[in-house]
Amino acid sequence: MSHAITYPRFLWRMMRRSFDGSWRFYSWMIFLTAVALVGLNAWAHQLTLGMATTNMTDHVSWGLYIANFTFGVGLAAGAVMMVIPAYLYDDHAMHDVVIVGELLAIAAIIACLGFITADLGRPDRFWHILPGLGRFNWPISMLTWDVLVLNGYLLINLHITGYLVYTRFLGKKPRRRWYLPFVFLSIFWALSIHTVTAFLYNGLGGRPFWNSALLPPRFLASAFVTGPAFVILLLQILRRLARLEVGEGPLQTLTNVMRVTVVLNLFMLGSELFTAFYTGGHHATSATYLFFGLHGHTALVPWIWSAIALNVGSLGLLLAHRFTSHTRWLNAACVAAFAGVWIEKGMGLIVPGFIPSTLHEIVEYQPSLSEWKVTAGVWALGAMVLTVAVKVALPVLRGEVRLEGEAP
């Protein structure tokens, strides 16, 4: 049979194969589906009863949803750490890892869009920012820039992964002109999605906690911690459960990236704290509340010190080569770094920007049970997308899929 198979037929065939899995696959998908349904039910109650089901107020209008959105954008941007060594430095061992990283970026962006939808309160009013129907306000509004870069990054990653997997499925060599320009564009675009997200915050003049020129590079440094950390863990899972041949080279490269970026992330955080506490004044009030509490209000103090402990512990494990040579210690370092950045960029960044308020009032915020359910549901949706996408790509990456009628 000819190798001329259409792309829709390829997608249909690979989707059929994705449902042919082991009991582990089905158990994992059933679990994620259950969590997603719990989140969907909580979101339905939120749509019915309004944002009163959350603990957000007029004083703290961004909470757990925007915190996870910020973290998710960084996770998606971290995929570029696989692209740079693979294509800029021509590391052939990283080429398959690039596809895994791009699939992670797709799932993370979908999760980010889910968090934005949950935070809107009235998603039916989304049309207000659609060009032609509403007022897009581009290029004045930073929000419209964020809409463009996030959706653009999603489309770029869909094209790269779809084309590379499709051509490998056909047994053909991919044409560089059809994917390489998009690969280099994805490097720039990955930097832009988190830079624009940072600009959303430090462009708000009434929130001194975010008014720092160091915020965009801090966002990028933390993104290049979480992306490699997650991919290291994912590759080991795929190597053990899915028989994907992954050498030690990619894992070592990503570990070396983390050794640098964890240090940079902590250094930038320390620089911010020095500026806030050494100079003092009104601009240090939010940082004081975050780290030490303010007038008896200490809701976020355990969060941020836990994040610092996790990041420092991860750094210690990564710098001690005798630990990272053992898989369990490397995994512990990745989990600690991932959790530490999730807290630091989430509750440790978004909420303190609103406390105290512009009227110097202290209204604390703790996520409601409904918010936790919706958040878990959105992450479960992202995990389902990643699981199915990886399962579709795995047979092609392993060279197991052949065209009908082709000799083995």
pTM of this structure? 0.88
pLDDT (tens digit, 9 = 90+) per residue, 32-60?
Answer: 999 999 999 999 999 999 999 999 988 89
Burial class (CB within 10 angstroms; exposed 0-12, middle 13-18, buried 19+) of 373: buried
Burial class (CB within 10 angstroms; exposed 0-12, middle 13-18, buried 19+) of 166: middle
Which pLDDT score is estimated for 347? 87
Q: What is the CATH number of the domain that holds 248?
A: 1.20.1630.10
Which pLDDT score is estimated for 360? 81
Whether 132 is covered by a domain: the verdict is yes
Whether 380 is covered by a domain: the verdict is yes
Whether 129 is covered by a domain: the verdict is yes
- % residues pLDDT > 90 (the chain): 38
What is the tally of structural domains in the chain?
1
Which pLDDT score is estimated for 97? 77
Q: Residue 289 sits in which domain range?
A: 7-397
Is the Cβ–Cβ distance between 268 and 274 less than 8 Å? no
Nearest alpha-carbon partner for 98 in 157, 150, 171, 14:
157
Assign residue 281 a region (left: φ > 0; alpha: ψ between -120 and 50; beta: otherwise).
left
Whether 94 is covered by a domain: the verdict is yes
Least confident of 101-115, 222-236, 276-290, 364-378: 276-290
Whether 407 is covered by a domain: the verdict is no
| pLDDT surpassing 80 at residue 7 | no
Which pLDDT score is estimated for 64? 93
Mean pLDDT, the chain, rounded, equals: 84
Whether 2 is covered by a domain: the verdict is no
Nearest alpha-carbon partner for 162 in 19, 4, 10:
10
pLDDT (tens digit, 9 = 90+) per residue, 260-296?
Answer: 999 999 999 999 889 888 887 777 888 999 999 888 8
Whether 1 is covered by a domain: the verdict is no
Least confident of 175-189, 282-296, 330-344, 388-402: 388-402
- Give the confidence band of 325 by pLDDT, cuts at 50, 70, 90: confident
Whether 102 is covered by a domain: the verdict is yes
